[in-house]
Amino acid sequence: MGLVIIGDTREKIAWQFPNMVRKKLEFGDYTIRGMESCVRVERKGSLRELAANMVGRARARYASIYRSMAGMRWKALVVESDLTELGHPMLQGERGEAVLRYLTRINTEYGVPVHFLRSPALACRWTRAWFEMIWSLRTTGHTGLRAVGRQMVGAPS
């Protein structure tokens, strides 16, 4: 059986992957079937969405998500934006600083790497490539990066 990506049924605007199934996940938005206990991606459509998760009831819920991800081997927070969004009026001044501290906490306290990818399409492509690398590592014992490197420089395989 090949790579099957699971997308959470609660995702309103879900990324689309080949061989994708939808299923309610306990936490996070995407994982790999058969590797649910060690792979997870949490997706944010913008820094503003992330900022909204920092307040009220959402704050405790998302802290719980990042705590759950902390013990996983492969985890990522993928933000469909870049840090220039901090120039948005909603994210200037103290609020912008709070967002940066929150991102730093997600990375340092929970060990969840934060990846900024400028668009939904790029975020989806990156996530698929990352999942493919993880799947390759699981099924073959290596990532295939050497072969990719040879192809990039035109060396014989």
Report the alpha-carbon distance of residue 25 to residue 139 in Å, rounded.
23
Q: Reduced to 3 states, what is the DSSP secondary structure of residue 35?
A: coil
| Residue numbers of the domain that contains 60 | 5-153
pLDDT for the residue numbered 90: 66
pLDDT for the residue numbered 55: 76
Each residue of 73-94: pLDDT tens digit?
999 999 999 878 777 776 677 7
Q: Quickly tell me which residue has 């704050």 as its tokens.
A: 59
How many domains are there within the chain? 1
* Class of residue 33 by CB neighbours under 10 A (exposed 0-12, middle 13-18, buried 19+): middle
What CATH number is associated with residue 115?
3.40.50.10130
CB 76 within 8 A of CB 151: no
